[in-house]
Amino acid sequence: MQNITNMRNHSIQSIMNARLSDQYNSKFDHIYELLKNDETLSFKKYLNFNSYDKSTVHYILNYYESIAIGIKYNELDEAIVKSMMRSQVIKTYNTFEDVIINMQEESPSFFENFVDLRNRWNLNKNPTTNIE
């Protein structure tokens, strides 16, 4: 029981530490500037980004990949993370889907854990109860 409590606390603390970090917030602010009013980022537009802009996209995708890996290896509690981040995971994937798909053509393992997590969580179910 203590291990479960520790994992849940670790999950919440990890997410909150990231969300409160200056780097996390500056990267997300920058991506909103790049997207402007667009809801998605095309691979074509991504290819025209400078190296800093591309690194911002990579930072965001790597953040979600690390969350997915933490869940996969039971370092993070999936139920807690899902209740805190489900809509963010799905929205972020949808925003960068074209970029992810094109990058996976070059290397199928790019962001595979993030994609798997999004696919699991993108069901039409209540995120808390997991019931349709």
Which is higher by pLDDT, 66 or 1? Answer: 66
Q: What is the pTM of this model?
A: 0.83
77-113: per-residue pLDDT in tens? 899 899 989 999 999 999 999 999 999 999 999 999 9
Rounded CA-CA distance 4/10 in Å is 10
Mean pLDDT along residues 121-128: 67
Provide the CA 99 distance to its chain's centre, in angstroms: 14
- Per this entry, what is the length of the chain? 132
Express each pLDDT in 36-87 by its tens digit: 989 999 999 999 999 999 999 999 999 999 999 999 998 888 998 999 899 9
Kindly tell me the burial class for residue 6, based on how many C-beta atoms sit within 10 Å of its own C-beta (0-12, 13-18, 19 or more): exposed
